[in-house]
Amino acid sequence: MAQLTFREAIAYGLAQEMRRDSSVVMIGEDIGAAGGVFKGTVGLFEEFGPVRVRDTPISEQAILGAAMGAAMTGLRPVAEIMFSDFFAVCWDIVANEIAKSRYMTNGQVSFPLVIRSGNGGGLRFGAQHSQSIENWAMMIPGLKVVVPSNATDVVGLMAAAIRDPDPVIFLEAKALYPTKSEVPDGEVVDTLGSAKVLRSGPDATLVALGAMVPRANAAAAELAEQGIDCTVVDVRSLVPLDTQTILREVSATGRMFTVEENPRLCGWGAELSSIVTEEAFYDLDGPIVRITTPHIPLPAADALEDMAIPSVERIVETVVKSLNS
């Protein structure tokens, strides 16, 4: 078992799948000899060469157009959009072509491709390079959306995404790139659409995603010191969504708090709140509470960015206030 950073786990997971399947290829800006702008593809160019690890010009439309064509002709491309904000530049290809073409061809053409991207804030990159766009992606029929929170899940979910017959948006929280966790030896393959319960407690359920998962865990530890014992659920996959696990854990505690980095309006927690209200209303002991980033462009100033994104302190304060009201 190896200790890997989140960014090392990306290259580890990609290499695992590229060694296993020669149809897996990579395409994106600076992913070759440079090893990726966030150093998530270090060593892959040297091992697999320029045919399977292809650098591109600065053109998101060209990257995804090429990836779509490659998937249609039998390859399994992994395309990189450097910052998830830049999906806005190529959204037509994602939403109108990649997501819909299998349906529109009645299954005659499949699109086994993965689009990975650095997502979210916390690194002072400003409003155009810090957005959390998981809510953009999950609203498009035909796309699967995966958001790992640790190195182990990066490897396993990457394998599952590459092997899936449908297009998968694989969002990597930039703030997590330097964090470390253990990755098992041998082949690691996970399952899309499966949430994980990270800790159990009877008082409330904290449901978190991506970079908010370690913050929810830390908040739960602080709350335990105050006598509030919380369950923490890592959603991991928004589409497909593991509603069974989430509903079970929320029903057990009677209280749900979502911890979301995305802006509040139309965030994934709003959809989850709707599902829980419809399916488990009579198991709730109080209102669902969403802890989110405000509906604002994310500031670059460190103090303002820290204030906007949910912090451990805000999670603790919100849970204590809600349970005591």
| Residues identified as active-site | 60, 129
C-alpha span between 220 and 201 (Å, rounded): 9
* Contact between 124 and 299 (Cβ < 8 Å): no
Instruction: Burial-class residue 178 by CB neighbours within 10 Å (0-12, 13-18, 19+).
Output: exposed
What Cα–Cα distance (Å) separates residue 215 from each residue in 70, 103, 156?
Answer: 39, 39, 22
What Cα–Cα distance (Å) separates residue 261 from each residue in 23, 179, 246, 255, 313?
Answer: 35, 18, 19, 20, 15
C-alpha span between 113 and 99 (Å, rounded): 11
Count of beta carbons in the 10 Å neighbourhood of residue 282: 6
DSSP character for 60?
Answer: H
C-alpha span between 53 and 32 (Å, rounded): 6
Query: Who contacts 179 (Cβ-Cβ below 8 Å, separation ≥6)?
Result: 5, 6, 150, 151, 214
Dihedral (CA of 219, 222, 228, 230) sign: positive
